[in-house]
Amino acid sequence: MPEYWVEVADNNPYGGRDKLEIAVTALSMNSKSMEFAGARDYSPISFFGGTPQMKAHWDTWAQAMEKAGHTPERSRMRVCRDIFIADTDAEAKRLVRKTGLMQTWHKYLKEIYVKFGLFGGIIADSGKDITPEDIDEEFLIEHVILCGSPETVIEKLEVLADKVGGWGQIVANQHDSIDDPKPWEESLRRLASEVCPKVKMPS
C-alpha cells in the first residue's frame, strides 16, 4: 500500500468528493488494505477466504475506522463471493462445471490460492482433511462457490452471516461466460430477484 495520502479528485456533478464512496478490496488475513481503508473512511470489500479471514477483515477495518474517529457500520461491509444458482442443487452443480467461473478456478485462481496460502480458512471451515493441492471440483462446488437452488444459496449466505456478523451487500464475482452466457445470466437474475431480497442478516 502507498505510504502517502491519496487525494481524490472533485467528482462533480456527482456530488463531489465528500459524497463519493470509495471501496477497497482485501483477501489476505492480516490485510493492510483494510487498515488503509478504515483510516481514510473508505468502505471494505472482503474477498472470501474462509470465516476467520472475513472476521479479521471486519476487525481490522473497524479498528482503523475508530482510531481515525469514524464509526464502522456493518451496512458498509461488502462480501465478495463466487455464486451460481439454478432451479435445483443438482442442476446448479451440473451447469457450474461448464462455466467460465469453474475454468477460472482450474486455470488461474487455484494456483494463486495455493501459492499464497489462501485456502487455509476455507479448508478449516469445511472440516475436511485435505491439502490445498488436492482441492478438486467437488470441494470448490461445496465449499468455495455458493452453488445451488435459490433456497440453498439463501441458507448458505445466512449461515455465513451468522458466523461473521453480517454485511451490507453481497458482491458476485464476474467471470468470462461468453461461450454460453445464458446460465450465468440466469444465475445473476435469480441472485438479484430471488436470493438477495430474502437473505436475513443477524439482528
Would you list the DSSP string of 133-202? GG--HHHIIIIISEEE-HHHHHHHHHHHHHHHT--SEEEE-----TTSHHHHHHHHHHIIIIIGGGPPPP
Are 134 and 110 contacting, i.e. CB atoms less than 8 angstroms apart?
no
For residue 109, the model assigns a pLDDT of 95
Comparing 178 with 63, the larger pLDDT belongs to 63
Do 23 and 93 lie in a common domain? no
pLDDT digits (tens, 9 = 90+) for 67-113: 999 999 999 999 999 999 999 999 999 999 999 999 999 999 999 99
The residues, any chain, with a CB within 8 Å of residue 197's CB and separated by 6 or more, are none
Does the structure show a pLDDT above 80 at 115?
Answer: yes
Nearest partner of 23 among 1, 4, 38, judged by Cα: 38
Which range marks the domain in which residue 25 is found? 17-78
Peptide bond into 13 cis (omega under 30): yes
Do residues 51 and 38 both lie within one domain? yes
Instruction: Specify if 1 maps to a domain.
Output: no
Asked whether the predicted pLDDT for residue 4 surpasses 70, the reply is: no
Q: CA 66, 9, 14 angle in degrees (round to 5)?
A: 90
In the predicted model, what is the mean pLDDT of residues 56-71? 97
Shared domain check, 105 and 71: no
100 and 114, same domain (yes or no): yes
